Structure 1
Amino acid sequence: MSGPAASYRVWAPDGVPEVHPGDDLAELIAAAEPGLADGDVVLLTSKVVSKAEGRVIAARDREAAIDAETVRVVARRGELRIVENRQGLVMAAAGVDASNTPAGTVLLLPEDSDASARTVRAGLRKALGVDVGVIVTDTFGRPWRNGLTDVAIGAAGVRVLDDLRGGTDPHGNALAATITATADELAAAGDLVKGKATGRPVAVVRGLAHVVAHDDADGARALVRDAAEDMFRLGASEAVREAVTQRRTVREFTDEPVDPGTVRRAVAAAVTAPAPHHTTPWRFVLLESAQSRVRLLDAMRDAWIADLRRDGKSEESITKRIRRGDVLRRAPYLVVPCLVMDGSHHYGDERRDGAEREMFVVATGAGVQNFLVALAGEGLGSAWVSSTMFCRDVVREVLALPSDWDPMGAVAVGRAAGPPKPRGPRDAAEFVTVR
């Protein structure tokens, strides 16, 4: 590829009509911009390609459409999913788009955007006799960067990458790792004039003929990093450590409601904890209505006050203690984890039966810790409070739980009202004994 041009021009022609399934995009573009010349680069949004190729489907449930297009979930926060889709692209929602399409439908990305670009390029050559490059674009977010930008997801007749390795900069320094994503830079330039809601889905770049290849060249697939070279493809251990570090006891919550699906995903993580004898000792009672939370907490408060009075505590002392427990009332969502002993062994020996129960308690604690860490990974704050363990009969009665379910505290869940206080330093060596 020769050196860059000193200037170029980019514009978005008017006159491209609404696209329908079966439309010939090359003919529509040629009619809207008959003055295309050799060396131009035509950029068109993936939405019009999807419409022309009939990638519009009826989908009341957008999440189901995303599921169908997803190969691998890379990251998730609440309802937002960053996934690898069937085209190999890592992006939000698998590229499934509910905008610029009739209500009740969604747009899927083209099956093969490189093939789509080749078809449009060949059509423009036939219609206008010109040799142009074609890029299909879509809007992406980027890791570590705010905002969206258009990138190339399909290309034909464009040198999508400019490999500068082996050359030198103006100071004579060797360029050892510089590969420019030319097609992405062109896509972003085109988006500046196309916009997102202007009804101009096509842009033309003129003056950069050196990026246009005489053949179809490598498609945009060349921009997708191979799995073996992707340092951030897995990141599981880093993600787990981050979630564990971010798990903090939160005592003040905002009023923002908690997505029940988020809690259920955290429960799914909780029940992967180890347990004795291949058992499943965890049960999670989700208090999603304000009525259920108030009814339980009122009953627990009454039981707690009765206990404290029996202990001879003063009314002032009781009031202070009750106030400390109000974190559960300030949360928009409560979860009561319970222990069940299904599958436990009975030895008829106090020592061994006691150890058996301790094994199940430890397994339940592991499940609760998984649950708290998973909530932190979803961006939710939590506070585990032991109070239900002191009035199990009351909790079972109010929540209509089986007699063999033992409440193991309660977890307040919600969005933290503010940043946590700095955690005091802890030297791991102080907690380690080596033999």
Structure 2
Amino acid sequence: MTTPTNFSVVAFPGVPEIAPGDDLGQVLASALARFARETDGQDGPAGLDGDWLADGDILLVTSKIVSKAEGRIVHADDREAAIDAETVRVVARRGRTRIVENRQGLVMAAAGVDASNTPSGTVLLLPEDPDASARALRKRLGELTGRRVAVVITDTFGRPWRNGLTDVAIGAAGIEVLDDHRGRLDAHGNELAMTVTATADELAAAADLVKGKASGRPVAVVRGLGHLVTEDDGPGVRPMIRTAAEDMFRLGTSEAVREAVTGRRTVRRFTAEPVDGAAVRRAVAAAVTAPAPHHTTPWRFVLVERQETRTALLDAMLAAWNRDLRELDGRGPERIATRVRRGDVLRDAPYLVVPCLVTTGAHDYPDPRRAAAEREMFVVAMGAAVQNLLVTLSGEGLGTAWVSSTMFCRDTVREALRLPADWDPMGAVAVGHPAAPAPERLPRDADAFVEVR
């Protein structure tokens, strides 16, 4: 595809206030024809060279006038309630500011609910289906003019990591919204592997430079990029919207932490896919930020990465369980087998982590009650560290199961892993890629667990 060396972007005046039910295509065609007559013979940005609409033109239309024509005006003294009604999922919240996913699948501030350029006491909602709106407007302009044009409906977005707003495409018809450069060669002969250009967004931003926010010019025409215009309507902007699985920034900071905590589930079935040891080490780095008594660091994490070590450990633990269940608990073979099977999750997992408690920083109290409380403080710190570990591993896309089994044969574990005598194994964490999605967790009301005094 040959890159054009120039094109024009023209915003034209004369678009009247739009009311519900207006024939937007007719209104725009009339305003554009009038503007073209008035500027006939002027070149470049001043006019459209006397041709009021040509094959290959691209119309960039502000969503507000589409919403008004479609009657998406709501009487709402409380804008927040209107935002609630349009919100599917809260992505991030800071005070009253909310970034949300709206009914159209767009992630944006306030669900696109706008209180500007609309009478007091009302708000504007985005078009119900911006792609359908673009298709209808394109069809109507084609009927009125006989021209093959593209239509892009735009709205204003903020952007992560960048200050300032820009217009982007929220609906499109008759245009390839993305330009996939992957597989092409750059000027040095290097194959491009990642580059996919958001053509529709680039057009929206360019048009906003001439439309402005308060100039009364809600529509711009791009001329000179006819190679972007397609015969059919195309899929609209849907190809531009990342799926949840592809979106690495699906949540804000506090929301991501909350989602990681509430979304973490015990996983007992794993695939054979290997576990990235670097991901586990990142989780350990998060684990050791947990609070602990007396400014100590009472945690050690044994990463059982080698298959032969894991097998030797689990075989030794199995023998110890069988012996203790028989000799200490007096259980029969069937009950022993049932109890031992609970440890199968450790054998089936491709990776194990054995968290150990080290209480060398504990105070030495002669009173047994105070000594017991001192140890409990360290055990609580161990639980906090393991929770950090589990949540961080969940954020890495890994499943976990924290099993208490090593606590019933601590000497055996220390011997199998060649651990110091003061390292106290506090269970074992099975780590792996989940074999199936976890079932939905039923919400829990905090009031059931709270007493207020």
TM class, shorter-chain normalised?
A: 0.5 to 0.7
Q: Label 1:148 to 1:237 Cα distance change in 2 as closer, same or farther (>3 A).
A: closer
Q: What secondary structure sits across from 2:142 in the alignment?
A: helix
Residue in 2 aligned with 1:22?
Answer: 21
Structure 1 length normalisation: TM-score? 0.55
Q: Per-residue CA shift, 1:52-80, capped at 9, x if unaligned?
A: 00000000010000000001000000100
What is the CA distance between 1:240 and its match in structure 2? 3.7
Q: Post-superposition, which runs of at least 4 consecutive aligned residues in structure 1 deviate over 2 A? A: 234-241
- Structure 2 unaligned spans of 5+: 34-51, 259-368, 385-421, 425-453
The separation in 1 between residues aligned to 2:233 and 2:222, in whole angstroms, is: 18
1:92 maps onto 2:115 in alignment: no
Residue in 2 aligned with 1:325?
Answer: none
The separation in 1 between residues aligned to 2:6 and 2:90, in whole angstroms, is: 41
**Structure (1 or 2) with the larger CA radius of gyration:** 2
The separation in 2 between residues aligned to 1:434 and 1:224, in whole angstroms, is: 50
Q: Label 1:170 to 1:17 Cα distance change in 2 as closer, same or farther (>3 A).
A: same
The separation in 2 between residues aligned to 1:238 and 1:17, in whole angstroms, is: 43
The one-letter code of the counterpart of 1:8 is F
What is the CA distance between 1:186 and its match in structure 2? 0.3
Q: Is the 8 A contact 1:110 1:116 kept in 2?
A: yes
- Structure 1 unaligned spans of 5+: 242-350, 367-432
The one-letter code of the counterpart of 2:89 is R
Q: Label 1:103 to 1:238 Cα distance change in 2 as closer, same or farther (>3 A).
A: closer
1:3 maps onto 2:2 in alignment: yes
Q: Label 1:235 to 1:14 Cα distance change in 2 as closer, same or farther (>3 A).
A: closer
- For residue 80 of structure 1, the aligned residue among 90, 97, 109 is 97
Residue in 1 aligned with 2:436?
Answer: none
1:227 maps onto 2:227 in alignment: no
1:146 maps onto 2:167 in alignment: no
The separation in 1 between residues aligned to 2:165 and 2:242, in whole angstroms, is: 20
The separation in 2 between residues aligned to 1:238 and 1:13, in whole angstroms, is: 43
The separation in 2 between residues aligned to 1:190 and 1:51, in whole angstroms, is: 20
Q: Per-residue CA shift, 1:377-428, capped at 9, x if unaligned?
A: xxxxxxxxxxxxxxxxxxxxxxxxxxxxxxxxxxxxxxxxxxxxxxxxxxxx
Residue in 2 aligned with 1:262?
Answer: none
What is the CA distance between 1:32 and its match in structure 2? 1.0
Q: What secondary structure sits across from 2:242 in the alignment?
A: coil
1:136 maps onto 2:153 in alignment: yes
The one-letter code of the counterpart of 2:10 is W
Q: Is the 8 A contact 1:11 1:203 kept in 2?
A: yes
What is the CA distance between 1:235 and its match in structure 2? 6.5
Q: Per-residue CA shift, 1:125-158, capped at 9, x if unaligned?
A: 0011100000000000000001000000000001
What is the CA distance between 1:238 and its match in structure 2? 9.1
Residue in 1 aligned with 2:217?
Answer: 200
Q: Per-residue CA shift, 1:185-218, capped at 9, x if unaligned?
A: 0000110000000011000000000111111012
Structure 2 length normalisation: TM-score? 0.53
Q: Is the 8 A contact 1:161 1:223 kept in 2?
A: yes
Residue in 2 aligned with 1:54?
Answer: 71
Q: Per-residue CA shift, 1:155-194, capped at 9, x if unaligned?
A: 0001100011111001000001110000000000110000
Residue in 2 aligned with 1:175?
Answer: 192
The separation in 2 between residues aligned to 1:13 and 1:175, in whole angstroms, is: 38
What is the root-mean-square deviation in Å for CA atoms of aligned residues? 2.4
The one-letter code of the counterpart of 2:102 is N
Residue in 2 aligned with 1:159?
Answer: 176
Q: Is the 8 A contact 2:92 2:253 kept in 1?
A: no
Residue in 1 aligned with 2:362?
Answer: none
Q: Per-residue CA shift, 1:212-266, capped at 9, x if unaligned?
A: 111101201211011111111146689549xxxxxxxxxxxxxxxxxxxxxxxxx
Q: Is the 8 A contact 1:4 1:208 kept in 2?
A: no
Q: Is the 8 A contact 1:137 1:154 kept in 2?
A: yes
What is the CA distance between 1:3 and its match in structure 2? 2.5
The separation in 1 between residues aligned to 2:238 and 2:141, in whole angstroms, is: 22
